């Protein structure tokens, strides 16, 4: 950390702790709780270590904090709710009238919970147009956990143990967020497999609504992660941005291409569902660069609105963490992406010290990009994955697979650097 700081490079500390389906099957309930609490304690230590330098991040893989079945069941529920919305959106304009929402509730609950309609509709119709769009619909689930519980119980037969596990997960995450705020460290919630990701997005949005207050002088605490190699990534990115904007919360995210490409394609083929990943690197690059341009355009729009406000009220406020509802990290090893982003920042006149945009690369990769950005005063970070060898090596191997699967021939140099990093860690361990 100290060596990086000398070159104006910040640190993202990432304990490589995650779970997959059936990974904890041999453990008793008490042993699982002990394991998840120990992992939460490790993240708390990580926050305190990161805080020894200003403006650092930690990366959290939240599947390591609870039974993976919770994430799978919640994801299935959220996916099912999206499909049900489509069924009642008769004119396909992305909106439901109150009578349609009532029919939707009856389909999910039967007649027993229709008394919820008036309360939910009036509370959620944020612009009073008597319509519920997809973002309002998603907000219902974020604001009313009781409704989500009812739906999960209907769709996945959630029992009391699963409900308790979900509550314990939220308690652990709240403790991490409160500690991060106390120590002025930001939390990057890492993206994971597609069968977990809807639940991870949902939890990230819940935490963002609570901890990314626009009036907080230290800026947002929670950064979600959007994997732009997924075909649905652009729509999810725009949904999350708009949801937090409407709720006067700061939207913060890390943009990545994605690191589960081999497993995702293999699983889709095996189970016979459409491949969720873009077909080729050109489509992935287009998706990623489009996301960067989308967020930079929103950032420029915020800057222009602030300039108009300055003229109208005679103030002289610059764009900063106290008045900007958007922060994002460009986590990329692609040189063209980095150059285009830097050119746009210059074109839009975005102050590099505004705290609005960050860059990041993996430790052991793309040093020529990271150090050049640092020496040119761009806010840039190295993601340092650490932990037990059997936990860190799969993380690094996935990054090597990501390069070989997505990038062009120039990635061979970076692959070599990453494999050297893997070998060095194995040698050190021996």
d(CA 320, CA 352) in angstroms, rounded, equals 10
d(CA 200, CA 191) in angstroms, rounded, equals 7
Q: What are the extents of the domains in the chain?
A: 2-429
Secondary structure letter of residue 186 according to DSSP: E
- Mean pLDDT of the residues in the chain: 86
Greatest distance between any 2 Cα atoms in the chain: 66
Burial 214-231 (b: 16+ CB within 10 A, else e): beeeebbbbbbbbbbbbb
Q: Output the CA torsion sign for 7, 360, 200, 195.
A: negative
Count CB neighbours of 8 within 10 A.
15
- The residues of the chain scoring below 70 in pLDDT are 23-25, 112-114, 154-159, 316, 389-430
| Nearest CA among 70, 62, 72 for reference residue 196 | 72
d(CA 287, CA 58) in angstroms, rounded, equals 26
Question: Which 3 state secondary structure label does DSSP give 329?
Answer: strand
Contact 226, 291 (CB under 8 A): yes
pTM: 0.89
The CATH number corresponding to 2-429 among 1.10.340.30, 3.40.109.10, 3.90.1150.10, 3.20.20.220 equals 3.20.20.220
What is residue 35's predicted lDDT score, i.e. its pLDDT? 92
What is residue 409's predicted lDDT score, i.e. its pLDDT? 47
What is residue 427's predicted lDDT score, i.e. its pLDDT? 47
Helices in 256-380 by DSSP H: which ranges? 261-271, 281-313, 335-348, 367-375
Q: Output the CA torsion sign for 16, 280, 327, 347.
A: positive
| Nearest CA among 219, 253, 262 for reference residue 234 | 253
């Amino acid at each position: 950390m100290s060596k990086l700081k000398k070159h104006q490079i910040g640190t993202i500390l990432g304990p490589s702790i995650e779970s997959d389906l059936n990974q904890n099957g041999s453990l008793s309930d008490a042993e699982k709780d002990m394991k998840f609490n120990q992992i939460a304690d490790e993240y708390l230590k990580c926050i305190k270590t990161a805080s020894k330098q200003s403006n650092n991040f930690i990366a959290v893989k939240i599947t390591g904090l609870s039974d993976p079945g919770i994430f799978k069941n919640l994801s299935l529920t959220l996916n099912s709710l999206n499909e049900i919305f489509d069924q009642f959106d008769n004119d396909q304009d992305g909106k439901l009238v109150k009578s349609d929402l009532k029919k939707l509730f009856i389909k999910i609950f039967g007649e027993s919970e229709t008394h919820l309609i008036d309360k939910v509709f009036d509370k959620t119709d944020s612009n009073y147009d008597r319509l519920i769009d997809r973002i309002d619909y998603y907000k219902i689930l974020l604001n009313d956990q009781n409704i989500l519980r009812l739906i999960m119980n209907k769709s996945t037969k959630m029992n009391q143990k699963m409900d308790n596990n979900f509550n314990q997960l939220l308690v652990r995450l709240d403790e991490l967020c409160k500690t991060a705020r106390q120590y002025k460290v930001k939390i990057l919630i890492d993206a994971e497999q597609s069968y977990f990701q809807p639940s991870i997005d949902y939890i990230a949005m819940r935490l963002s609504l609570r901890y990314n207050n626009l009036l907080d002088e230290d800026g947002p605490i929670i950064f979600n992660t959007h994997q732009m190699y997924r075909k649905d990534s652009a729509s999810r990115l725009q949904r999350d941005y708009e949801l937090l904007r409407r709720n006067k919360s700061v939207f913060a995210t890390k943009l990545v291409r994605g690191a589960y490409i081999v497993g995702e394609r293999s699983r889709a083929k095996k189970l016979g569902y459409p491949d969720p990943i873009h077909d080729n690197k050109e489509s992935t690059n287009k998706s990623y660069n489009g996301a960067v341009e989308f967020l930079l355009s929103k950032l420029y729009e915020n800057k222009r609105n602030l300039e108009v406000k300055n003229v109208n009220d005679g103030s002289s406020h610059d764009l900063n963490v106290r008045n900007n509802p958007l922060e994002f990290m460009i986590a990329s090893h692609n040189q063209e992406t980095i150059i285009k982003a830097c050119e746009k920042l210059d074109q839009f006149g975005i102050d590099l010290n505004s705290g609005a945009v960050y860059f990041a690369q993996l430790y052991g990769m793309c040093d020529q990009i990271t150090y050049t950005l640092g020496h040119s005063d761009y806010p840039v970070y190295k993601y340092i994955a650490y932990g037990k060898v059997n936990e860190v090596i799969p993380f690094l191997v996935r990054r090597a697979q990501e390069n070989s699967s997505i990038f062009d021939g120039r990635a061979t140099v970076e692959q070599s650097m990453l494999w050297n990093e893997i070998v060095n860690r194995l040698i050190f361990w021996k």
